[in-house]
Structures are given as C-alpha cells and as structure tokens.
Amino acid sequence: MEAIIFGHSHVWSVKRALASAKAVNNIKYNIILCGTKEFPGPLVNFNMNGEPNLNQALISALNQYEPNKETYLVSISQGNYYNQFGMYVGNRAFDIDISGLADLPEQPDLDIVPLGAVREELTLLANEVPLFLKMITNFGYAGLIVVGPPPPPKDDLHILDLAKRSGKLSAISMPALTRLKLWHVQNAIIHEMCDKYNAKYLVNAKPELCDPMGFTQAQYVKDAVHVDHHFSKVMIDMLSECILSLSKA
C-alpha cells in the first residue's frame, strides 16, 4: 500500500519524521507537497465565473500519479482555522461551553460565548473544506484521510513570540483553555465535513503526547502552532493504523 501526503507547514515535521523510514507497517509514504512554497494559496480557488477549482499546485502534483485502490491520499492542510479565530484576544477574552465535546472546566472569570456562535464562525473560516472534499474524493484513490492539527501548547510564550515577530507588539494571547476548546470545536466541525464526503478524519493527538488537560506536552512544541518530528512519528503510527484499518473494511 501507498500513501500520498500533501499539505502546508505541518508537513515539515512529518517529512523529518519519515527521513529515516519511507515505509511504515509496509505502507510506502510519498510527500508530494510540503509547506506554503510548494503548496501556495488556499485549497480551492475560484475562476472568473465563480466556479471552484482545486489548487493548481495540488492538481499538478497529483498528475504524477495514477489513481488506484491501493493508494490513499493524506491531507495535512489548513489546520489552523481555530488559531485564526482565537489565538489572540480581540475585543475581550472569552470562554466556551463545550460540555458535549470534551470534559474541560469553565473559566468563571470570563464571559461564555455560545458554542453555536463559535461553530458558525469557524465553519465560515473553513468554508473551502467541503468544496475541497467534494472534488478530491472523486479522484479514484482508495480513500482520503484528513489529519487535524496537533493540540495547542499551554504556555503562551511561543504565541507572544510569534506576535512580536509579526509586528503585533500589543497582542494578548487568548487564555490557553479557550484555545484548547477552540481546537476541539474545529475537530468536530472538520470531522462532520469529512463524514459527509466519505473521508476519514484523524484527530492528531494521543495521551502520551499531551498533558492531563489535553495540551501538547512542552517537549514536543516547536513554536506557537507546530510540533516537532517526535510528535509526528507517533502521528505517522496512528496514520498507518488508520490506513490498515480502512484497507480491511
């Protein structure tokens, strides 16, 4: 079996993790697009008539392969909608009640924003995903697996450093627990989108990689939004298990 991986900046740690082993559990991994230089722009572009088309870089890369039922596509793309929405405090910090998604405590000193309102905003930010899924699941491969982003770090030092490097000198990071809750909400939204188009969604987290609350453990954090290759090695094992399970279904 074979897996074709493409995506944006989260693929870098996957590439490093696979450097010493191109095959895992008898699955051959090929990375065809890694990072925004190779995969610029959104997943979907629109022509002059407003019709959606897959990103041309992705089409060109996939044209090197012949679709078959022994090869899975793996998308590790555009995972940071929740950070676009709530990495930094806008008008005010807030909390979310996500009791139906995860067992996380409330933050009594913060206003609670309704889950429905947060879902609406994140769904709008991720509005390219259903179009992407609809088009790419018709390519004739064995299946599509969408890998979600890793959980956020608890410490906000990396986030404040990113703000400084981005010129946002007065930025205030959103409370860590709110960022973790937003991660859970995004996972639920993209999972539902994948289910609709017969794609498999892989939540990118395992207990041994996270602290008791569910944040990425500090030793695996590379920067404000990325993990290191040690984290991604575990993710590749999860991915391999997922592919093997799908192949037997």
Q: Which two tokens stand for residue 34?
A: 């890694």
pLDDT under 50 in the chain at which residues? none
Q: How many CB atoms lie within 10 A of CB 140?
A: 10
CATH number at residue 80: 3.40.50
Angstrom distance (rounded) from CA 88 to CA 98 = 20
**pTM strictly above 0.85:** yes
Task: Note down the domain range covering 90.
Answer: 2-248
Residues forming beta bridges with residue 88, ordered by sequence position? 173
Contact 28, 4 (CB under 8 A): no
Give Dmax (Cα) for the chain.
Answer: 56
User: To which H or E segment does residue 21 belong?
Assistant: none
Q: How many CB atoms lie within 10 A of CB 245?
A: 10
Q: What is the pLDDT of residues 214-243, one digit of tens each?
A: 999 999 999 999 999 999 999 999 999 999
Angstrom distance (rounded) from CA 33 to CA 137 = 18
Angstrom distance (rounded) from CA 88 to CA 80 = 13
Domain count, the chain: 1
Contact 42, 24 (CB under 8 A): no
Q: Could you tell me which of 88, 81, 152, 93 has the C-alpha nearest to residue 123? A: 81
pLDDT value for 22: 66
C-alpha separations of 69 from 72, 134, 137, 139, 141 in Å: 8, 18, 12, 11, 5
- At residue 111, the 3 state secondary structure works out as strand
Q: What is the pLDDT of residues 87-117, one digit of tens each?
A: 999 878 999 999 888 899 999 999 999 999 9
